[in-house]
Amino acid sequence: MSISEPGQATLPSGIALDALDPTIRPQDDLFRHVNGRWLAAHTIPADRAVDGAFRELADQAEVHVREIVEACSNRTQDEARTSDNFGPISTAIGALYDSFMDEENLESLRYKPLEADLAAIAATANHDELLTWLGRTQRAGGPTLAAIYIDTDRVEPDRYVAFLSQAGIGLPDEAYYREEQHAEVLKEYEHFIGRVLEHAQITDDPLDAAGRIVSLEKEIAAGHWDAVKDRDAQATYNRMSLTELVENSAGLDWGMWAAAVGIPSAAHEMLIVREPDYFASVAQVWQNRDLSDWKLWATFHLLRKFAPYLHSAAVEENFAFYGTTLTGAQELRDRWKRGVSLVEGALGEAIGQIYVTRHFPADHKARMVELVNNLTEAYRQSISSLEWMGEDTRRKALDKLESFTPKIGYPDVWRDYSGLELTDNDLVGNVKRSNEFDHAYEFAKIGSPINRDEWFMTPQTVNAYYNPGMNEIVFPAAILQPPFFNASADDAVNYGGIGAVIGHEIGHGFDDQGSRYDGQGRLIDWWTSQDREEFERRTSALIEQYDRYVPAQLGEDGLHVNGALTIGENIGDLGGLAIALRAYEISLGAPLDQAPVIDGLTGVQRVFLSWAQVWQSKIRDEALIQRMSVDPHSPNEFRCNGIVRNIDAFYQAFDVTESDALYLAPEQRVTIW
């Protein structure tokens, strides 16, 4: 855009001035200066654990998707029905939604949809028979001792390989089975298991059975890697053949399991086993625990996994634990919302193809291309001038930056769902067939060329991601709305919003794990030892900063942020916002101090205020504790405040001094990119 004299801008700022809290200074708490009034006045809806800017956009997308789904539904069709314009996929969309909305049918069926599976578990006579059943049922979404997914090989990214990962527990993370802070949740989990088994009339002594299942899961969890170790790209890359896996994991025949789950023979010679210790450990547990314990475990997890698709009593019991106990949510979401989520999970790109024709203007994509180009150029300038990086590493970092592939809005090639058969009166069957369809889709990748048109989020998803194996940054259509992106506002708000998101995703290519991949997506050490050492010194300083943070709502003695778990996202945030400021300057074509003043705010101030708007959020204590245990993202207040206090421009924009709460001495501020 052209440069105006201060006070002569024609576009609105995009900052919600009436929402700013004048009683809280930005120098002390930028997050609450921008969001304090909203935080004080807003009540989290009873049916959710968290609410805020992301959720507001997700709500909008949900309503838009509902309109699409109900246009395909036989239960809601009227003279305004438009599904004929959607093509044959409308039948599948409508059938799946209708099967979920048919409450009368589900109430009459109760546990009948699972009777065959329950009988099969009961009939297993030995461990091998149960293992075979587990493998076969995993295809349909049943219980599993090992997760499996197909992805590009980290070292040779021109081919697909099968990754195997730890599983087998019903709580969010292994820490829930051993840390005192989760003891009450573990106790409630045992009570929940007992109620599930009692309602399904599985055993005459549900309390004893629940205790045996929890005891078993404690042994399974003892072999799990913790959340920090499990995000290490090098440590979780362990090549071995299926034969080697079997030899290294005595006690459980992974070959028998692989045959049952259907891993293609072409994948057997090279699997990637993320946590080898787990596979050896769980094999011993499998061998040593009585078959009756494993049958109880399999029965409970079958009931748990399919509970959302059964009668109301099963749904409500499941929600009471996974919704209320774990996240603090007080009410089930409306049935139509849960139905829409189900359809999106099974037919996401079919919905997305319709969504973008209705809700993604072509000019938004063009504006995003400009933003991405400016952010990329800003990274290029920054990397070129980094004082701590040597020339060899700098050249390779720039090569990687030039190799980034941006994807904006929606896929160029849509997924084909024509082979998926769905009916309007078989909800559990529909869920199973959808899972089997996805399972077959993934396994078909083995031996096939890399599909570089594939997306791992739907267009209606309010999020973005970086994929290191393809060195791509992806921005679905639904995130390209205020407060992230405002086509009608001055550029500063967009660089503080979606610009920082773009910078964040590019930054993942250079975070503690993404920096281990080169521009072709290969897990390879392209750094000099001196530069890697300096990079790790800087990241360690950021880890130490975040280790000290405790969310205000948990009190002074509350849970601390895990700096090591969140370091990748914190690097992305820090680099993203710093680079967004540089990109904003590029868009101006002039120094930042020449940016127009709008609503009494300088351009740089608006970038920071926009950044704070993005993180507007309120979360229940239970959900916050869960996220801090397993989520690599920091709490939103620290994604805002913890970042800006490391950026010199923040001090200049708001005249931050040593007496202000967000002040960090210059030598303590972390600059990486």
Average pLDDT, integer, range 427-448? 98
**Burial annotation 187-226 (CB, 10 A radius, 16+ → b, else e):** eebeebbbbbbbbbebbeebeebbebbbebbbbbbebbbe
Burial of 571 (0-12, 13-18, 19+ CB in 10 A): buried
Provide the CATH topology of domain 17-43+362-411+473-668. Collagenase (Catalytic Domain) (3.40.390)
The count of residues in the chain is 673
Q: How confident is the model at residue 558 (pLDDT cuts 50, 70, 90)?
A: very high
Whole-structure pTM value? 0.93
Quick one: pLDDT band at residue 78, thresholds 50, 70, 90? low
Q: Give the model confidence (pLDDT) of 525-550 as tens digits.
A: 999 999 999 999 999 999 999 999 99
Where are the CATH 3.40.390.10 domain residues in the chain? 17-43+362-411+473-668
For the chain, how big is the Rg over CA atoms in Å? 26
Where do the H-state alpha helices sit in 386-528? 391-403, 427-443, 491-494, 500-508
175-225 pLDDT per residue, tens: 999 999 999 999 999 999 999 999 999 999 999 999 999 999 999 999 999
Separation between Cα atoms, residue 37 and residue 189, nearest integer Å: 37
Q: Categorise residue 411: left if φ over 0, alpha if ψ from -120 to 50, beta otherwise.
A: beta
Please state, in angstroms and rounded to a whole number, the distance separating the CA atoms of residues 366 and 375. 14
Residue-wise pLDDT for 124-178, tens only, equals 999 999 999 999 999 999 999 999 999 999 999 999 999 999 999 999 999 999 9
- What local confidence, expressed as pLDDT, does residue 10 receive? 46
| Fold (topology level) of 112-309 | Neutral endopeptidase; domain 2 (1.10.1380)
Q: What is the mean pLDDT of the chain?
A: 95
pLDDT of residue 85: 62
Q: What percentage of the chain has pLDDT greater than the value 90?
A: 92
Tokens of 13: 């700022």
Q: Is 595 left (phi over 0), alpha (psi -120 to 50) or beta?
A: beta
Asked whether residue 403 carries a pLDDT value surpassing 70, the answer given is yes
Q: Specify the pLDDT at position 79.
A: 45
What is the band of 77 on the pLDDT scale with cuts at 50, 70, 90? low
User: Helix (H, G, I), strand (E, B), or coil: what is residue 205?
Assistant: coil
Is there a contact between 508 and 227 (Cβ–Cβ < 8 Å)? no
Residue-level pLDDT at 6: 35
For 292-345, the pLDDT digits (tens) are 999 999 999 999 999 999 999 999 999 999 999 999 999 999 999 999 999 999
